[in-house]
Amino acid sequence: MPRWLIKNLLLLAIFSLIGCRGEAGIPHGRLATKDGKLIKVELALTDKTQKQGLSGRKAGSLKANQGMLFVYDNTEPRSFWMPDTYFDLDIFFLNKDLTIVHIERDVPHHPGRKEPPAIARTKAVNCQYVLELDAASPLSKKLLVGQKLKWLGSSSLSKIKLKTHP
């Protein structure tokens, strides 16, 4: 059996185990806040989905309790930028335990990829996960540095991420 076919079948099996699918077949999951509020997240697990992020999404495409969670293999400094975005974002940098270690609020959108004006970039923050929410979300404004989120999936995020590598 060709290697590409095995890889694609493995990814299909993983995504079906994760649960529902979001935009363009991206796997979904849920996070819970300390007061029980749920955040439905699309999981950016691969280089391709991480590079795409929320680029190209129109304003209003995310509900107040929806976002994207970028899942990485390890903790290291990460910086985000906002090319081809159509709404401002709140960006939450999380450690390996899903505790918020830094927040960049109201990061300005930038339709297209041409500069000037400059495309907004966050500072580099040591983290393992990054959560993006629409800056207009009331739920987003309640999240604070030091707050721990809880992953509600049947598999850990680490295991899900490992399964995306052939």
Q: What's the CA gap between 71 and 36, in Å, rounded?
A: 22
Instruction: Report all structural domains of the chain as residue ranges with CATH numbers, in order of start.
Output: 3-163 (2.60.120.1140)
User: Which pLDDT tens digit goes with each residue over 20-45?
Assistant: 344 455 789 999 999 999 999 999 99
Q: Tell me 99's DSSP state.
A: B
Q: What is the C-alpha to C-alpha distance for residues 23 and 45, in angstroms, rounded to an integer?
A: 14
How many residues in the chain? 166
**All residues at 6 or more sequence positions from 61 whose CB lies less than 8 Å from its CB, including other chains:** 23, 87
Question: Encoding tokens for residue 21?
Answer: 């699918």
Please report, in angstroms and rounded to a whole number, the separation of the first and last CA atoms in the chain: 14
- Statement: the pTM of the whole predicted model exceeds 0.95: no
Strands 89-94 and 100-107: antiparallel
8 A C-beta contact, residue 28 and residue 18: yes
Instruction: Choose between 37 and 161: higher pLDDT.
Output: 37
Indicate the range of 12-26, 73-87, 92-106 predicted with least confidence.
12-26
